[in-house]
């Protein structure tokens, strides 16, 4: 086994070395069938006791933070990391949530290591934070996974990477590979948003549009990887994607002054971000840095809730997805078994929101905080609002909403919610009429 880490199958518990390319457990993947979530997803395991010896318990997190969490990552050096500023995204604390009085979400303040401003929660009985991962280089959370996969490939002399994507993972891998001097091939549904396809091509990646769904693109990318030997970045299929995404958990813990939030609302499609956030907090738990886990709330679109619908099902049944939130539109969640395993072990929760609720939440966020989120990210905020309206958020609790992508990724999704005014003549009289009609 690799001294730094090894892999363990979440199903049969078999262990594999971390020194070579491996995706799924070789034994369990033999049982996989079309239309069902894959068995054999691999979990990355570290020598936690050795890591605990790096510093006293009360100083261990600071030590890991100084090392950019390298002891908890499956790479040898941070010099392999892309030059782009990935991660360390801002987290904002909201001082009030007045959805019922004109849809205002009060003043937003950034959270850091410094102490919190006193008295800012005057109209809410709970604390609410927004973790804005649209601030990553390609404007989505997916940069975290792409960075780690690319870094591992760089250390192992791999030059060409392939991925299936509805857009964000693809544009992310394309951008990260461009920064690393690597080649990328991205397989996408032909109906993916134009902005994401444009990003992929601007970064110089080879774009393969597919007449089919994300699941079709996923399967095709695996065949390409098998035939041509390209390193596959596919979510969950490549275990390092989960390791890249878990880093957000460390950041949230740091930004809350080393406190565990009570709940984190996360948009869910394949379930990899959900599993990744759990994995990050589980690392801290195993190291003795924390003594409890947050409750994770997976938020799915009603039109694509296959993970939630099959949580307690004896046999997985997929329903065709239809939602404006393309980034979480998945028929067969690839990380189903790891995500559901974490849900059962740590009492995770799920909620579904309608497309209308997603659009309303996107508008509310944009007009009240200045954060323009794509539909999948706005879904997490919609889930929080639903919890709040149903009285599920306890007074005094700390709650985080994970915003995973920029609204500029999919402008078409929100066109029905806005109207661009007709042009006016360039004179003050025309402006007077315009103001009377649209502003006063």
> Going from the N-terminus, what domains does the chain have, and what CATH number goes with each?
91-136+242-417 (3.40.50.1100)
Is the confidence at residue 78, as pLDDT, over 90?
Answer: yes
Segment 389-404 mean pLDDT: 96
Q: Is the pLDDT of residue 106 over 60?
A: no
Angle (CA) 430-432-438 rounded to 5° is 100
Quote the CA–CA distance of 98 and 246 in Å, as a whole number. Answer: 32
The tens digit of pLDDT for each residue in 411-421 reads: 888 888 888 88
Kindly indicate the confidence band of residue 112, based on its pLDDT and cuts at 50, 70 and 90: low
Q: How far is the C-alpha of 414 from the C-alpha of 358, rounded, in Å?
A: 10
The beta strand positions in 226-333, using DSSP E, are: 231-232, 263-267, 295-301
* Integer Cα distance of 439 and 396 in angstroms: 38
Give the list of residues 6+ apart from residue 341 with CB closer than 8 angstroms, or none: 10
Paired tokens of 257: 């002054």
Tokens of 328: 């979480």
DSSP letter, residue 314: S
Q: Is the pLDDT of residue 307 over 80?
A: yes
pTM, whole model, 2 decimals? Answer: 0.92
Cα–Cα distances (Å) from 43 to 144, 147, 161, 195, 247, in that order, read 17, 18, 21, 33, 15
* Average pLDDT estimate for 241-255: 98
What are the residues whose beta carbons fall under 8 Å from the beta carbon of 41, sequence distance 6 or more?
Answer: 9, 10, 11, 24, 25, 236, 237, 239, 334, 335, 337, 338
Write out the DSSP string of 57-101.
GGGHHHHHHHTTTGGGSSSS-GGGS-SS--S---EEEES-EETTT
d(CA 354, CA 39): 30
Does residue 87 carry a pLDDT above 80? yes
Per-chain mean pLDDT for the chain: 92
Inter-residue contact 92 to 129 (CB < 8 Å): yes
Bridge partners (DSSP) of residue 183 are 160
Pick the more confident residue, 88 or 3. 88
CA distance 320 to 304: 7
CA angle 121/122/126 to nearest 5° reads 45
In this predicted structure, what is the pLDDT of residue 376? 95
List, in sequence order, the alpha helices (H) in 325-398.
336-346, 355-369, 375-389
High-pLDDT (> 90) share of the chain, %: 82
Other Cβ atoms less than 10 A from the Cβ of 347: the count is: 10
């Amino acid at each position: 086994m690799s001294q730094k880490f090894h892999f363990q199958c979440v199903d049969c518990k078999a262990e594999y070395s971390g020194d070579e390319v491996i995706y799924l457990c070789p034994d369990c993947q033999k049982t996989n069938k079309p239309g069902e979530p894959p068995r054999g997803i691999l979990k990355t395991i570290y020598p936690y006791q050795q890591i605990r010896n790096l510093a006293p318990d009360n100083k261990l997190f600071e030590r890991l933070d100084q090392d950019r969490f390298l002891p908890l990552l499956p790479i040898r050096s941070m010099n392999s990391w892309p030059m782009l500023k990935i991660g360390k995204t801002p987290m904002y604390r909201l001082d009030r949530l007045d959805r019922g009085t004109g849809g205002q979400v009060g003043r937003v303040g950034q959270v850091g290591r410094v102490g919190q401003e006193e008295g800012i929660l005057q109209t809410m009985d709970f604390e609410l934070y927004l973790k804005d991962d649209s601030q990553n280089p390609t404007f989505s959370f997916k940069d975290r996974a792409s960075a780690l996969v690319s870094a591992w490939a760089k250390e192992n002399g791999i030059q060409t990477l392939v991925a299936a994507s509805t857009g964000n993972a693809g544009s992310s891998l394309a951008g990260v590979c461009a920064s690393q001097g690597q080649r990328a091939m991205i397989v996408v549904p032909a109906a993916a948003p134009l902005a994401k396809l444009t990003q992929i091509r601007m970064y110089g990646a080879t774009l393969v549009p597919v007449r089919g769904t994300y699941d079709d693109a996923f399967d095709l990318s695996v065949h390409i990887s098998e035939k041509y030997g390209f390193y596959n970045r596919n979510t969950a299929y490549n275990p390092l994607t989960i390791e890249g995404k878990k880093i957000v958990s460390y950041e949230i813990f740091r930004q809350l002054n080393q406190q565990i939030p009570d709940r984190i609302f996360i948009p869910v499609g394949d379930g990899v971000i959900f599993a990744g956030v759990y994995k990050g907090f589980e690392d801290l738990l195993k190291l003795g840095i924390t003594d409890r886990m947050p409750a994770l709330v997976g938020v799915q679109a009603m039109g694509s809730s296959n993970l939630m619908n099959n949580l307690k099902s004896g046999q997985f049944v997929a329903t065709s997805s239809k939602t404006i939130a393309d980034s979480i539109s998945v028929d067969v969640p690839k990380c189903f078994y790891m995500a559901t395993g974490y849900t059962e072990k740590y009492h995770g929760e799920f909620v579904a929101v309608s497309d209308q609720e997603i659009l309303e939440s996107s508008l509310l966020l944009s007009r009240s905080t200045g954060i323009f989120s794509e539909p999948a990210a706005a879904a997490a905020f919609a889930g929080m609002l639903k919890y709040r309206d149903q009285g599920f958020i306890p007074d005094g609790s700390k709650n985080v909403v994970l915003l995973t992508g920029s609204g500029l990724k999919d402008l078409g999704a929100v066109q029905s919610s806005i109207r661009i005014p007709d042009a006016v003549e360039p004179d003050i009289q025309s402006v007077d009429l315009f103001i009377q009609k649209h502003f006063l």
